[in-house]
């Protein structure tokens, strides 16, 4: 035990994590809210204190993050929410953005040649936003407190302002150049072109007015009326294709979660159009055939079989997964089956890695700048939500007069039918652009249960690394006995099939481990921090919740719900 904690301490110190607190999770019997922003986490904890459910708290945190964490918190983007009530069946809410009615598979190929700027950094890159509709649908079915009560904290934060942290100050300074050509963005996130300094107050009055319309009218306050008119006006003036009709027609969708088991624990995760749940469960099914505990955390043996399992699951992701409404024959049941995992495991050698398949698929760009929230209330209702604008600050465009950032999620569609890149990759049919279609994602909000009782809530941002970061928190807890904070702090790595390499966090693994992996034929690539996980575990024996928040980035917090007044 001492050796494991020491290893985690060394890795966390190099990642900028406070070593003195690495193994100490937040504990509470009344509920925990874990998010990437302390202000937003406190908003959610207060909602639960006032009698709200985990979904009530999630709605309030989601809107608060749109104010305090503008790089990924949003009302102009979309995402996914998995909810497990203390009694009853779990449910999944899909509020992924959709392609406008005028979208087409070849829209990223003006003149027949692929243009990445059009695909990722233009008004055409904006998908029809889903966040407001998704949060409202979840609240309507699972909420308890009035809608206005949940939006009001965000309104106050936007109207009255909040203190800019060092992390937010640096983030806004870094994005200023990219926002420079959009006057509304410059007006909202600088002081007449001068960056905000830590300790100053950031007010967003136009965003407050938009949130007020949402508080008063629900989704109609966003998808119709003044807000919709402002969005359409900005689109028409700049070559965008989202219309008021696209906005009015947007619908969040309630779906059935995908389920699996691992070491006797039930895995409840998000189904397509995100690939996160299916790919993660497939990889866990393969790993279930190995004694990871005996191999040891961060050992070459464990990393090898985990990477090989990731590689095979990601290959299936590329080949099969997309929007289920456009791909009705996706073999999801086969991908989730233990039999499929057994066959894939037979192809794994413990002594060396196998080269990636000669089949090649395009990996459309998927940004790391997403955000995740995990919440459990005092009655053990659990909610796990990941949502995003795609890249940090989305397409960097604030809608004039409306005060919120637009996403660039259309970049998650494949570049075009049959398109070939310099790396020799070719596009795949399930994720080509089409009107009304939801782009494939890697977001993986996940909940675990044991013997009918809540056990764990987890998830992370990080583009395609999301799946493996979430998987590694689960393996850390179930195989290596880590608590919530240790599971978050533990070093991470990633393999996505193509390129055929293991990306690992700088200083996260010993030279001996890296040498042994190289000897087995693995290509290794050192990188920076991977993911920003938020984890909550329920200790049934002590009847206490413990939360872990990721200190790889600033400003996050797992907040214990205060006792009710």
How confident is the model over 453-470, as pLDDT tens digits? Answer: 999 999 999 989 999 999
Mean pLDDT, the chain, whole residue set: 93
CA 235, 388, 35, 377 torsion: positive or negative?
Answer: positive
Other CB atoms within a 10 A radius of the CB of residue 200 amount to: 12
What would the mean pLDDT of 471-495 be, rounded to a whole number? Answer: 98
Kindly state the helix (H) or strand (E) to which residue 82 belongs, with its residue range: strand 78-84
Which ranges in 113-242 belong to alpha helices (H)? 116-120, 131-142, 147-160, 166-179, 183-189, 205-217, 220-223, 225-237
Domain assignment of residue 189, given as a range: 52-254+368-431
Q: What radius of gyration, in Å, describes the C-alpha atoms of the chain? A: 22
- pLDDT for position 431: 86
CA distance 193 to 223: 31
| Burial of 309 from C-beta contacts in 10 A (0-12 / 13-18 / 19+) | buried
Under a CB-based contact definition with an 8 Å cutoff, are residues 277 and 269 in contact? Answer: yes
- Sheet with 493-494: list strands edge to edge: 493-494, 502-505, 524-527
Q: What is the pLDDT of residue 3?
A: 41
What is the per-residue pLDDT for 8? 45
Nearest to 119 by CA among 421, 435, 412, 441: 412
pLDDT at 428: 62
| Residue 154 falls inside a structural domain | yes
Does 361 have pLDDT greater than 70? no
- Kindly report, residue by residue over 175-192, the tens digit of the pLDDT: 999 999 999 999 999 999
Answer whether 238's CB lies under 8 Å from 262's CB: no
Strand partners, 454: 449
- Residues 296, 303 contacting (CB under 8 angstroms): no
Structural domain count of the chain: 1
Residues in the chain: 565
Q: What are phi and psi of 442, to 5 degrees?
A: -110, 0
- Tokens 């979430």 sit on residue: 470
The answer to whether residue 45 is domain-embedded is: no
The answer to whether residue 259 sits within a structural domain is no
Q: Tell me if 192 is assigned to some domain.
A: yes
pLDDT digits (tens, 9 = 90+) for 52-98: 999 999 999 999 999 999 999 999 999 999 999 999 999 999 999 99
On whether residue 16 sits in a domain, the answer given is no
DSSP-assigned letter for residue 124 = G
Asked if the structure places residue 185 within a domain, the reply is: yes
Q: In what order do the strands lie in the sheet with 453-458?
A: 26-28, 544-549, 534-539, 453-458, 446-450, 265-269, 258-262
Catalytic residue among 370, 469, 473, 549: 370
Biggest distance spanned by C-alpha atoms of the chain: 64
pTM: 0.94
Asked if 433 is an active-site residue, the reply is no
Residue 93 lies in a domain: yes
Residue 436 falls inside a structural domain: no
Residue whose structure tokens are 């006032």: 50
């Amino acid at each position: 035990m001492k050796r494991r904690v020491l290893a985690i301490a060394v890795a966390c110190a190099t990642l900028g994590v406070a070593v003195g607190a690495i193994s100490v999770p937040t504990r509470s019997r009344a509920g925990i809210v874990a998010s990437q922003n302390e202000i937003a986490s406190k908003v959610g904890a207060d909602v639960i204190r006032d009698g709200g459910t985990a979904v009530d708290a999630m709605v309030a945190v989601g809107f608060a993050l749109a104010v305090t964490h503008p790089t990924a918190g949003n009302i102009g983007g979309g995402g996914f929410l998995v909810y497990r009530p203390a009694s009853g069946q779990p449910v999944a809410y899909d509020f992924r953005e959709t392609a406008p009615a005028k979208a087409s598979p070849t829209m990223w190929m003006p003149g027949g040649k692929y243009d990445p700027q059009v695909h990722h950094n233009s008004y055409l890159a904006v998908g029809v936003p889903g966040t407001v509709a998704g949060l409202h649908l979840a609240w309507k079915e699972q909420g308890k407190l009035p809608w206005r009560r949940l939006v009001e904290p965000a309104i106050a934060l936007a109207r009255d302002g909040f203190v800019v942290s060092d992390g937010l100050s640096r983030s806004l300074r870094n994005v200023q150049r990219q926002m420079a050509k959009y006057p509304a963005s410059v007006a909202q996130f600088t002081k007449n072109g001068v960056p905000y300094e830590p300790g100053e107050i950031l007010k967003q009055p136009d965003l407050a007015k938009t949130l007020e319309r949402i508080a008063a009218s629900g989704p109609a306050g966003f998808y119709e009326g003044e807000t919709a008119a402002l969005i359409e006006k900005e689109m028409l003036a700049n070559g965008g294709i989202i219309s008021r009709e696209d906005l009015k027609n947007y619908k969040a969708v309630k779906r059935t979660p995908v389920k699996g088991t691992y070491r006797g624990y039930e895995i409840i995760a998000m189904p397509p159009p995100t690939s996160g749940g299916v790919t993660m469960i497939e990889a866990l099914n393969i790993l279930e055939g190995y004694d990871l505990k005996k191999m040891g955390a961060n050992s070459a043996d464990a990393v090898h079989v985990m990477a090989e399992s990731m590689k095979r699951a990601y290959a299936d992701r590329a080949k099969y997964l997309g929007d289920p409404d456009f791909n009705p024959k996706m073999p999801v049941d086969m991908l989730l089956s233990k039999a499929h995992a057994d066959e894939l495991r037979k192809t794994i050698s413990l002594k060396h890695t196998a080269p990636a398949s000669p089949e090649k698929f395009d990996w459309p760009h998927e940004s790391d700048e997403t955000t995740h929230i995990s919440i459990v209330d005092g009655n053990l209702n659990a909610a796990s939500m990941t949502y995003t604008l795609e890249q940090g600050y989305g397409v960097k465009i604030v809608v004039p007069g409306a005060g919120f950032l637009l996403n660039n999620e259309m970049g998650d569609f494949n570049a075009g039918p049959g398109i070939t890149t310099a790396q020799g990759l070719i596009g795949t049919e399930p994720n080509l652009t089409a009107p009304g279609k939801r782009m494939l994602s890697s977001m993986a909000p996940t909940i675990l249960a044991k013997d009918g009782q809540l056990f764990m809530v987890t998830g992370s941002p990080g583009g395609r690394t999301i799946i493996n970061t979430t998987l590694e928190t689960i393996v850390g807890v179930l195989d290596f006995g880590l608590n919530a904070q240790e599971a978050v702090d533990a070093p991470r790595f990633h393999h996505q099939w193509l390129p055929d390499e293991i990306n690992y966090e700088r200083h996260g693994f010993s030279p001996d481990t890296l040498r042994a992996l190289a000897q087995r034929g693995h290509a290794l690539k050192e990188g920076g921090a991977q993911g920003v996980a938020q984890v909550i575990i329920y200790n049934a024996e002590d009847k206490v919740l413990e939360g872990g928040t990721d200190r790889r980035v600033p400003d996050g917090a797992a907040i214990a719900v205060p006792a009710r007044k």
